[in-house]
Structure formats: structure tokens, C-alpha cells
């Protein structure tokens, strides 16, 4: 079933906290089935379930203070493989044809840097073939393979975001959906600021600045890739209602506010404020 003019390819990335247990996985599978029933081709990128990656890292460091880099990448790439297989099983259970792929099977080619590899090329021949057959393609994020050494590599923390945005660019998707356990990008940490609100839209540049300073809604390298390739991103809750936050080209100010969003850091000695146009402002000690 090749893509027709009326058919859209949708790239969705599900974070680990949206896949923490069987109930959540079933819920995600149902949402994918409903989206596919509207005539869309669906490509899904998954993170490891819940705290799986942290648990695997702890296991490695219980055995060694300096885990072997190759074996460490082999270990921590396993979490995403578990997620992709379980989600595919859940999709089959509700009669939604799906197939899972590791990063290497999906043709995600990287450099040879274990732990912080960068994507150098994407040749998703098998993925394209399965999408054309009408299947949902479920890909393990965070990982790839070096085409010369044939070694499995990982992309670093948050690498599944980068995987999804790179695939959205390759497949010329209209945008990339990042589905999380929060309903969008907040103006501040809602655990600290009680009246923090969801931002409906932020620019690529603002996204890059916020993630540079530690905002957790997107990986920094993913925000840089989105800025470079101009890939709109829709961040929203996987199991929550709401319109979420769009990251895209913005030509008008959000509510004409001097401030967009605030990130928090401990051990900060001073703060410099600039308005949205970048003009100088005040320093607080």
C-alpha cells in the first residue's frame, strides 16, 4: 500500500513514562490503531519503559567502575528493544498489523562513538517496505549501528527524540509528534510554580535555548536538529487531554510577554535576564 496523496505519514515518539506498564502500553496501542484507521501510515519510535535504562546502568556499575564501552552500549540499548517488541505485541492483540525494528534493522547509521553517537545516514529500506504493506512500524529509539564496524551504538540521553525527528525529516513528514506523561511544555516547573501554564507555541530558537539550559521536554540535540531541518514538533500528553505545545517557526510573540519560560538550576550564583528580542536586561545575584 504505497502512500497516496490523501494519506499522511505520521511519526510518533513515545517516552518511557508513557510505556511504564502493560495498561499504558495497551492504551498507546489503541491510540495508534485509531490513528491508523483514519487512513494514516504510522511510524512509531519508542524509549525504554520507565526506569529501565537507569536500572541497566546501575547493574553495569555494580559490576565495574568503568564498564567496557561496547558492552555498555549493547546493554543499555536493550531497553528500547523491549519496548518496541511489547508495543508490537499489544498492537497485534487488537488486530493492528505491526512490526518492530531495532535501530540497526531500521537503517539508522551512526558514527563509531559509543555512548554519544551521531546519526550520519538513514536508509530505512525495510521500514519503507513494511509501511507500504500497511503495517505500523515500531522502531527502537536511542540507537543505531556503525556501517563500517557493524557495532551497535547509542545516541546518549534523550536520543530517542533525535531518532524520531531524524526519521520525520527523512520521510518528509509534516511534523513529528512527541508524546509524554505531561500535557505539553510548561512556562515553569509546575512542581515549583503552582500557576505554570502550558505554552501553545514556541519557536525553534526558543526551544533550543530552553533545552540548552536544561528544560526536560526535549533533548538538546533533538531541538538542534529540528531547528536545522525546520521540522515542526507537537509535544503532547500520551494519556492526557489537551492541545499540547507546537514547536515551529514563530513570527509573533506569545501574548506579547517579555518572558516565555523558566528553567530551574541549583547552585546558581547569578541570573541574567534578556527579553525575547535579545536586548539587555537585569542581572540578579
Report the distance separating Cα 143 and Cα 243, nearest Å: 30
How many alpha carbons lie under 13 Å from residue 43 in its C-beta half-sphere?
A: 31
pLDDT of residue 277: 58
pLDDT of residue 250: 84
Give strand pairing partners of 144: 153
Q: Which helix or strand (DSSP H or E) is residue 165 part of?
A: helix 159-170
What is the number of structural domains in the chain? 1
Distance set, CA 87 to CA 47, 174, 184 (Å): 11, 24, 23
Is the residue at 111 inside a domain? yes
Is the residue at 141 inside a domain? yes
Please give the residue range of the domain that contains residue 134. 9-181
From 157, 73, 150, 70, select the one nearest 110 (Cα to Cα): 150
pLDDT of residue 110: 98
Is the residue at 201 inside a domain? no
Is the residue at 82 inside a domain? yes
Contact indicator for 209, 224 with CB cutoff of 8 Å:
no
Per-residue pLDDT band for 240 (boundaries 50, 70, 90) equals: confident
Q: Which helix or strand (DSSP H or E) is residue 136 part of?
A: strand 136-140
Report the mean per-residue pLDDT for the chain: 90
Of 271 and 173, the structure prediction assigns the larger pLDDT to: 173
Is the residue at 14 inside a domain? yes
User: Is 0.85 surpassed by the pTM of this model?
Assistant: yes
pLDDT of residue 285: 47
Interstrand relation of 9-14 and 41-46 (parallel, antiparallel or unpaired):
parallel
**Residue 142 buriedness (CB in 10 A; 0-12 / 13-18 / 19+):** buried
Residue 252 has pLDDT above 80, yes or no: no
From 62, 51, 52, 38, select the one nearest 82 (Cα to Cα): 52
Is the residue at 272 inside a domain? no
Report the distance separating Cα 134 and Cα 188, nearest Å: 41
Q: What residues contact 13, with CB distance under 8 A and at least 6 apart?
A: 44, 45, 46, 47, 141, 160, 161, 163, 164, 176, 177, 178, 179
Q: Rounded to a whole number, what is the distance in angstroms from the first to the last CA of the chain? A: 61
In three-state secondary structure terms, 19 is coil
Instruction: Tell me the pLDDT tens digit for each residue of 117-166.
Output: 999 999 999 999 999 999 999 999 999 999 999 999 999 988 999 999 99
Report the distance separating Cα 265 and Cα 248, nearest Å: 26
From 141, 109, 118, 146, select the one nearest 43 (Cα to Cα): 141
Q: Which residues of 213-237 are buried (b: 16+ CB within 10 A; e: fewer)?
A: eebebbbbbbbbbbbeeebbbbbbb
Instruction: Tell me the pLDDT tens digit for each residue of 48-87.
Output: 999 999 999 999 999 999 999 999 999 999 999 999 999 9
Is the residue at 50 inside a domain? yes
Is the residue at 4 inside a domain? no
Looking at residue 167, which CATH number applies to its domain?
A: 3.40.1160.10
Amino acid at each position: 500500500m504505497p502512500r497516496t496523496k490523501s494519506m499522511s505519514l505520521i511519526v510518533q515518539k513515545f517516552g518511557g513514562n508513557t510505556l511504564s506498564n502493560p495498561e499504558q502500553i495497551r492504551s498507546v496501542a489503541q491510540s495508534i490503531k485509531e490513528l491508523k484507521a483514519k487512513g494514516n501510515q504510522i511510524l512509531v519510535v519508542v524509549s525504554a519503559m520507565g526506569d529501565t535504562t537507569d536500572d541497566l546502568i546501575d547493574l553495569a556499575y555494580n559490576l565495574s567502575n568503568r564498564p567496557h564501552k561496547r558492552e555498555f552500549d549493547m546493554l543499555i540499548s536493550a531497553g528500547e528493544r523491549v519496548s518496541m517488541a511489547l508495543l508490537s505485541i499489544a498492537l497485534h492483540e487488537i488486530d493492528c498489523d505491526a512490526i518492530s525494528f531495532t535501530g540497526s534493522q531500521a537503517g539508522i547509521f551512526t558514527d563509531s562513538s559509543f555512548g554519544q553517537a551521531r546519526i550520519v545516514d538513514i536508509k530505512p529500506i525495510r521500514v519503507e517496505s513494511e509501511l507500504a504493506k500497511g503495517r505500523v512500524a515500531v522502531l527502537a529509539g536511542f540507537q543505531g549501528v556503525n556501517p563500517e564496524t557493524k557495532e551497535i551504538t547509542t545516541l546518549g540521553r534523550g536520543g530517542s527524540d533525535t531518532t524520531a525527528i531524524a526519521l520525520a525529516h527523512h520521510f518528509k513528514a509534516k511534523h513529528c509528534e512527541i508524546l509524554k506523561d505531561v500535557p505539553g511544555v510548561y512556562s515553569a516547573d509546575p512542581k515549583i510554580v503552582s500557576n505554570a501554564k502550558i505554552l501553545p507555541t514556541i519557536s525553534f530558537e526558543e526551544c533550543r535555548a530552553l533545552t540548552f539550559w536544561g528544560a526536560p521536554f526535549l533533548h538538546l540535540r533533538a531541538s538542534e536538529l529540528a531547528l536545522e531541518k525546520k521540522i515542526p514538533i507537537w509535544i503532547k500528553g500520551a494519556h492526557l487531554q489537551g492541545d499540547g505545545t507546537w514547536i515551529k517557526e514563530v513570527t509573533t510573540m506569545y501574548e506579547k510577554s517579555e518572558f516565555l519560560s523558566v528553567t530551574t538550576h541549583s547552585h546558581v550564583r547569578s541570573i541574567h535576564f534578556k527579553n525575547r528580542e535579545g536586548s539587555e536586561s537585569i542581572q540578579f545575584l
